[in-house]
Amino acid sequence: MIELSGVRWERRAGAFTLDVPRLLLREGITVMAGANGSGKSSLLQLLATAEFPDKGGIRYGIMSGDRDLAAIRASIGYVPTGLELYEDMRMERLLRYLSELKGEAGRAETDRVIGLFQLEPYRRRAIKTLPQGIRQRIALAQSVIGSPDYLFLDEPLNALDSLERLRLIRFLASYARGRAVVVSTHELNEWEAWASRILWLADGKPQFHGTPQAWTSSLPGSVWGGSVSPERYRELPGGNLLQVRPELDCLSVRLLAPDCPGPEFSVQEPTLEDAYFLRSRARLRN
């Protein structure tokens, strides 16, 4: 378990403050959501000990950041966004080198993570010659060298194709048994079946932390779905639309509204993403 208490970190000369009075991150996948600039990457940087807060502290089980930094770092895997890899190195050499830095000498661990992320065909390729999705898989592979207890992944699905995205999510779901995995994302629904907890940040502060069930219940509004004609569609309030899909001679519409928008509509189970819209909209209105 990771425990943050009284954490404050000012960035941009105080124009932004990450402010986390208390937060407990448990085993399983914690999926972190929030608007651009809400502080997701900043929080991951602190968790990964790439940066340090101005105030407060972070404990990892019985280890605390100010006393056990080396041991904590040895139990952390981290993928920031835009991780710069050693461009001229061959992929296998890079992973060997990073394995050795993490105290995992020998080929076995390198071979394991190469297999895990289907990187076999790229062993002898220089990093700079590889496409973005493969580089992302290498970034992910380096993070699980030594099977760390804590994994912090900033938008890990970036640049991956749909099969790789699903493969990674499934891998993380099993990896997170007995370990804490924190991921940031702008696509909550992809994690729907796998998230243990949702953490929502706004303006540098956690606004919600709890189970997906709690996230999609007690919402300030409802989600409605129905099929409408193109004429009727034009009458609907545009600001609250979630999804529009053409059908044979009508449009299938999903929208947010406090009350039923018309006889064509029925109330729908909200998705994680719907709940994000409802909660964000309610917050902006208050």
- Say which residue the tokens 């966004």 belong to: 81
> Among residues 102 and 186, whose Cβ is nearest to ligand ATP?
186
Rule CB under 6 A: is residue 77 a binding residue for ligand ATP? Answer: no
Rule CB under 6 A: is residue 171 a binding residue for ligand ATP? Answer: no
End-to-end, the C-alpha distance of the chain in Å comes to: 33
Among 12, 124, 245, 285, binds ligand ATP (CB under 6 A): 12
Where do the H-state alpha helices sit in the chain?
40-47, 69-74, 91-101, 107-116, 132-143, 162-175, 212-215, 230-235, 272-285
Q: Is the dihedral of CA 40, 46, 51, 55 positive or negative?
A: positive
> Among residues 11 and 112, whose Cβ is nearest to ligand ATP?
11
Among 11, 90, 102, 232, binds ligand ATP (CB under 6 A): 11
Rule CB under 6 A: is residue 185 a binding residue for ligand ATP? Answer: no
Whether the CB-CB separation of 272 and 195 falls below 8 Å is answered with yes
Closest separation between CB of residue 34 and ligand ATP, Å?
Answer: 5
Residue 260 sits at the vertex; the CA angle it makes with 255 and 264, to the nearest 5 degrees, is: 80
Output DSSP code: residue 105. Answer: -
Closest separation between CB of residue 197 and ligand ATP, Å?
Answer: 17
Closest CA to 142 of 67, 30, 4, 48: 48
Q: Three-state DSSP class for 153?
A: strand
Rule CB under 6 A: is residue 80 a binding residue for ligand ATP? Answer: no
Looking at the DSSP bridge assignments, the partners of residue 8 are 19, 55
- Say which residue the tokens 């009727």 belong to: 232
For β-strands 205-210 and 197-202, DSSP reports them as antiparallel
> Among residues 45 and 240, whose Cβ is nearest to ligand ATP?
45
Rule CB under 6 A: is residue 146 a binding residue for ligand ATP? Answer: no
> Among residues 81 and 268, whose Cβ is nearest to ligand ATP?
81
Rule CB under 6 A: is residue 16 a binding residue for ligand ATP? Answer: yes
Q: Tokens standing for 282? A: 């309610």
How many residues at the interface with ligand ATP, by CB under 6 A?
11
Residues 17-56 that bind ligand ATP (CB under 6 A): 34, 36-42
> Among residues 55 and 170, whose Cβ is nearest to ligand ATP?
55
> Among residues 16 and 86, whose Cβ is nearest to ligand ATP?
16
Residue ranges binding ligand ATP (CB under 6 A): 11-12, 16, 34, 36-42
